[in-house]
Amino acid sequence: MTKTFAERSFSRTFLGMLALMSATSILCNSCNQKKDKKESEKMIQKDHPVAKIVPTLHNENVPTDKRVIYLTFDDGPNRGTENLLRILHKRKVCATALLVGKHAYGSKKQLEDLHLLRQDKLIELANHSFTHAHNKYTDFYKNPIAVVHDFDTAKDSLKLYDKIARTPGRNIWRLNNITVTDLKSSSEAANSLKKAGYKVIGWDLEWKPTNKMALKENHEAMLKKVDSIFFNDLEKTSRHLVFLTHDQYLTDADSINELDLFIEKLQKSNRFVFRKISEYPGINEILN
């Protein structure tokens, strides 16, 4: 029988209970301190470029048998923004919208959607640049000063003052405890964003589009990917998964339904909790 990460968590919990029953409180405290230190220093598999971060879920009000999912949606406000909000309200889950400045002011409808996003308590807003690199990513990242200026322009025009950001066209992380660059040619620009105080967040799992800009896979396939990432400990921070897709993929009935079913089944499994990206471990620390 194939085991799930939930079974794995149960086994570990059961063993932990036996240990507690057979040791004195002083010995337990000593063992727990050593265990915490060991886990905080644990490295992920050698083909991954960063140390695995293992936060203490008790401090985040998340039970140890749960996993945390951060729903994030790039490139808004855009076609599909209203559909996204309807799904979130139907399922009563929170999410993060990473905005592009020029999209917010691209049309009257997009500006109206920006106001909807601002007023919605289920959504928090973060920075996805002003120009989206003009969709010329290689050229964009060659000029780190211009990259920082682009994000500053989005920050000021959209009033995004917490400086949480995601780079267009790149899966880049720049936090105190995570440094990942998917393409080395973007490293200098990413470092400049961090130096400017931006907390750059990438993603662990993306729901990609078809060539018709609809969601490519069905919800069952995506649920299997979620389980696989957690079971194989492939997330950047243990027990925390950053999920990415885009507003503009939510314009056809099938895509809307698939995202809705994806969230519904995550909820019904009773194994996950949802958080906004500002609650990601370590993201609110002052950058070194």
Closest CA to 208 of 245, 165, 171, 250: 245
d(C-alpha 272, C-alpha 268), whole Å? 9
Strand ranges in the chain using DSSP code E only, listed in sequence order: 67-76, 95-99, 123-127, 164-165, 172-174, 179-181, 199-200, 205-206, 240-246, 272-274
pLDDT at 255: 98
What is the distance in angstroms between the CA of the first residue and the CA of the last residue of the chain? 46
Strand partners, 76: 99
pLDDT at 108: 95
Residue 30 backbone dihedrals phi, psi, to 5 degrees: -65, -45
Q: What count of residues does the chain have?
A: 288
pLDDT at 62: 82
pLDDT at 186: 98
d(C-alpha 18, C-alpha 31), whole Å? 14
Other residues' Cβ atoms within 10 Å of the Cβ of residue 8: 12
* Side-chain half-sphere exposure of 261, counting CA atoms within 13 A: 14
Cβ within 8 Å of residue 161, ≥6 positions away: 155
Tens digit of each residue's pLDDT, the chain (288 residues): 444 444 444 444 444 444 444 444 443 443 344 333 333 333 233 334 444 555 544 445 788 899 999 999 999 999 999 999 999 999 999 999 999 999 999 999 999 999 999 999 999 999 999 999 999 999 999 999 999 999 999 999 999 999 999 999 999 999 999 999 999 999 999 999 999 999 999 999 999 999 999 999 999 999 999 999 999 999 999 999 999 999 999 999 999 999 999 999 999 999 999 999 999 999 999 888
Pairing of β 179-181 and β 172-174:
antiparallel
Q: Is the pTM of this model over 0.85?
A: no
Tokens of 125: 């807003």
Sign of CA dihedral 274, 279, 281, 287: positive
pLDDT at 63: 87
d(C-alpha 94, C-alpha 107), whole Å? 26
Other residues' Cβ atoms within 10 Å of the Cβ of residue 1: 4
Give the CA-trace dihedral at 246, 250, 256, 262, to 10 degrees: -10
Strand partners, 124: 96
Burial 195-214 (b: 16+ CB within 10 A, else e): ebebbbbbbbbbbeeeeebb
